[in-house]
Amino acid sequence: MTRSDARVSTLWIMLLTLASALTTLALACATPFTALAALAATQLRARDGIVLMIASWALSQATGFCLLGYPRDASTLLWGATLGLAAIAAVVGARVAADRVAPGRVLLRIAVAYLGATIGFKIVQLLGAVGLGGVDIALSPAINARLFARNAAILAGLYLLYRTLIAAGLPAAPRDRPVAAC
């Protein structure tokens, strides 16, 4: 990786983490991990996607505890850790899913990546709920449908922001070479 690629990667990680933090503030505790994961899986290198998810999770936690008054108890801390793991699972799931679609089919790749991100995130969240409580909430069709729709809209907004910034002159984020579609 060249020094220029490293700078561009850092810029995009910072910009997308900031966008995530603003969304967290606006929605009070609803970091759009699955939307970020889908965008990262299709527009960033794999390593940068993991870094983005960790940075977004860390900033989300800082926002929650410092600005939104999250309780400082064991359950909240364990849920925070679970969400961090779920965020990483989301980007891995998104990458695996996106790599099954031909590189030229951008919108389809993003949609499939979003489904993969959602599945990866929900599996870890459900495992956390088994241990920490809240399985009924984790499996609630109404809550999941609302979150799926909201994160899909956020993904569309993030992708539009990404394309707009590139059109305005920011360099595109460096990407891995896509794996051949099956």
Residues 107-117 pLDDT 10s: 999 999 999 99
Q: How many other CB atoms are there within 10 angstroms of residue 59's CB atom?
A: 16
For 115-127, the pLDDT digits (tens) are 999 999 999 999 9
Read off the pLDDT of each residue in 55-84 and give the average, rounded to a whole number: 90
- Flag whether pLDDT at 182 surpasses 50: no
The answer to whether 61 and 96 are in contact (CB under 8 A) is: no
One-letter identity of residue 176: D
Q: Which of 31, 136, 123 lies closest to 80, judged by CA? A: 31
Q: What is the CATH code of the structural domain delimited by 3-167?
A: 1.10.1760
Residue 33, C-beta contacts closer than 8 angstroms, at least 6 positions apart: 53, 56, 57, 83, 86, 87, 90, 117, 121, 151
Interior angle at CA 82, CA 122 and CA 33, nearest 5 = 55
- Measured CA to CA in angstroms, residue 135 lies from 6, 81, 131, 140 at distances of 41, 17, 9, 8
The predicted model scores a pTM of 0.90
- Could you tell me the residue ranges of all domains in the chain? 3-167
Mean pLDDT of the chain: 90
